[in-house]
Amino acid sequence: MKRYVLLNPGPVNIKEKVRRSLLAPDMCHREPEFGRLMTGCAKKLLRAFGIAGAYEAVFFTGSGTAALEAAVVSSVPRGKKMLVVNNGIYAGRIAEIARRHGIGLINLASDVKKTPDIDAAEEKIRKNKDISVIAMVHHETSTGILNPVYGIGKLCRKYKKLYLLDSISALGGEELDPGKAGVGLCVGTANKCIEGIPGISFVLVKKTALPGLKKIAPRSLYFDIPSNLEGQKKGEPLFTPAVQAFYALDVALDELLKEGVNNRVKRYKNLAVFLRKGFEAAGFEYLIAPKYLSNTITALRLPKGMTYTRLHDALKAEGFIIYAGQSKLKKVIFRIANMGQITAGDARRFLASLKSVLRKPGPHKGKRAAG
Ligand SMILES: Cc1ncc(COP(=O)(O)O)c(C=O)c1O
């Protein structure tokens, strides 16, 4: 099968070593070998982010949303509320999970093209004494905005609130010291900047937050953090895990440890800088101000007359998978992610293909799409 350069925000292009790990012999998850594999992955994950000792890693078999749902349902005591600092679609997802579980919610929605207003969040906290958890998305993948992780962390410290951070598209791709930021629950996934395969997500739980979580009667059988952690620590997962995805995660974490999180962050950042120079030279306009941009997503306005489908299909024919805008931005933007094993050569070839697609005759010449 043809190799596509995946410019979507996960699943990402992975190393050959990670892919080959999937061919390991079949394994029963009730045998000690699997317990060792899973606890080994937890240790490597914590070590990679420099948080061994202060945090636990709890795995869930499922995509990023699985771990996110686990963090939401396991963190808010009954009668208390979650404040969602919401500047995009993925923050909206956190709020929706809370709603569906009947969890008290204060949804502080703000402009999706800007970072959230920390003062507005503080005012909500002051006025609503029943808020116990503050949730935010680290990197709003729908727009590419990098949110003020440390600023909201400061608020959580000041008002003694539990901090839930959806770092699904940031962990490994953006600088983060969870301890320094005061994050209580940090949600991540295997198949984005960690460079594993889809099937496993996780929550990094601050050990000091655990006694509080244990006091909450579980709202979910599958997604309860304390009971999953207990099983995992004994090497006895509660449910059938994605065994092969753990093989891949184990190798991906070895590679992450070898590269170092800081170097990976730099690698992604350099790639984004290179791509953005090319986008600017080709006349593209950003959706959001460059000062807000993350290291891994660039949302660009579609040139006038160019539909996403036409652009996507032409680039796919050249071996590149780009990503559409979501919801209201569907007809306005396209997104380019630079997570995973994308080389400088891939990026150069992509920019050349993009330019040649734009040069082809079509109704797209002229101004950008409005929105
Ligand atoms: C910030 C963020 N949160 C949550 C999710 C949901 O993850 P998944 O699609 O793996 O369930 C994504 C996926 O891109 C994301 O970027």
Gap between the Cα atoms of 268 and 338, Å rounded = 7
Q: Which residues have C-beta atoms less than 6 Å from ligand 1?
A: 9, 63-65, 68, 90, 137, 141, 166, 168-169, 189
321 Cα: distance to centroid of ligand 1 (angstroms): 18
189 Cα: distance to centroid of ligand 1 (angstroms): 8
168 Cα: distance to centroid of ligand 1 (angstroms): 6
Per-residue model confidence as pLDDT tens for the chain (371 residues): 889 999 999 999 999 999 999 999 999 999 999 999 999 999 999 999 999 999 999 999 999 999 999 999 999 999 999 999 999 999 999 999 999 999 999 999 999 999 999 999 999 999 999 999 999 999 999 999 999 999 999 999 999 999 999 999 999 999 999 999 999 999 999 999 999 999 999 999 999 999 999 999 999 999 999 999 999 999 999 999 999 999 999 999 999 999 999 999 999 999 999 999 999 999 999 999 999 999 999 999 999 989 999 999 999 999 999 999 999 999 999 999 999 999 999 999 999 999 999 988 665 554 454 44
For the chain, the C-alpha Rg in angstroms (whole number) is 21
* 238 contacts: CB under 8 Å, gap ≥ 6: 222, 227, 228, 231
8 Å CB contact between 78 and 216: yes
pLDDT at site 359:
87
How many CB atoms are closer than 10 A to CB 129?
10
103 Cα: distance to centroid of ligand 1 (angstroms): 21
What domains can be seen in the chain, in order of their start residue? 5-9+260-359 (3.90.1150.10), 16-259 (3.40.640.10)
If one residue of 59, 61, 65, 149 were mutated to test the ligand 1 pocket, choosing by the most ligand atoms within 8 A of its CB, it would be 65
If one residue of 85, 112, 169, 223 were mutated to test the ligand 1 pocket, choosing by the most ligand atoms within 8 A of its CB, it would be 169
pLDDT at site 369:
47
